[in-house]
Amino acid sequence: MTDQAVDFGGAGGADRSGARPGRRRFYGRARELKELRADIARAGLDTLAGRPSPRARVLLVAGRPGSGRTALAEELVGDLARGYRDGVLRARLTEPGGEPVPVERAARGLLDRLGVPAPAGAAGDELTQLLREACAERRVLLLLD
């Protein structure tokens, strides 16, 4: 069976369930999802060693363009989202043509979704620090694609 996602419609934005507008049914990649879930269960959601950490846990899904990385990550996010009381935040890091999204724009978008005002003219470093501070007291799942 080949991997595929089939649209079943839907409306509205991302919510605390992790659902996206037009969430798709996901088929295939069962082995990869099982391995990702096992890694999370084995290590805990906080650190690779399974100990609580004041910092974020990073899970990387890598692959070639068009290989289904985004669909796989979205499926995993949909499964994990209920454990994040403050919801799911998403940011694209590349434009459709492959150019990188400026750090300032991505950070401002995430801050806006958190309801945190970003200072006008702030540089990327200042905005990312503000984003870290805003997320420090929240339990959010952040999907950077």
Q: What is the pLDDT along the chain (145 residues), one digit of tens a residue?
A: 333 333 323 333 334 445 555 556 677 788 888 888 887 776 555 544 555 555 567 788 888 888 888 889 998 998 888 888 999 999 999 998 889 999 999 999 999 999 999 999 999 999 999 999 999 888 899 999 9
33 touches 75 (CB < 8 A): yes
Q: Residue-wise over 64-81: b if at least 16 C-beta within 10 A, else e?
A: eeeebeebbbbbbbbebb
pTM of the model: 0.70
Cross-strand partners of 27: 4
- Helices 103-114 and 124-136 pack at an angle, to 10 degrees, of 30
Rounded to the nearest 5°, which phi and psi values hold at 118?
Answer: -100, 135
> Residue 33 has which token pair?
């999802």
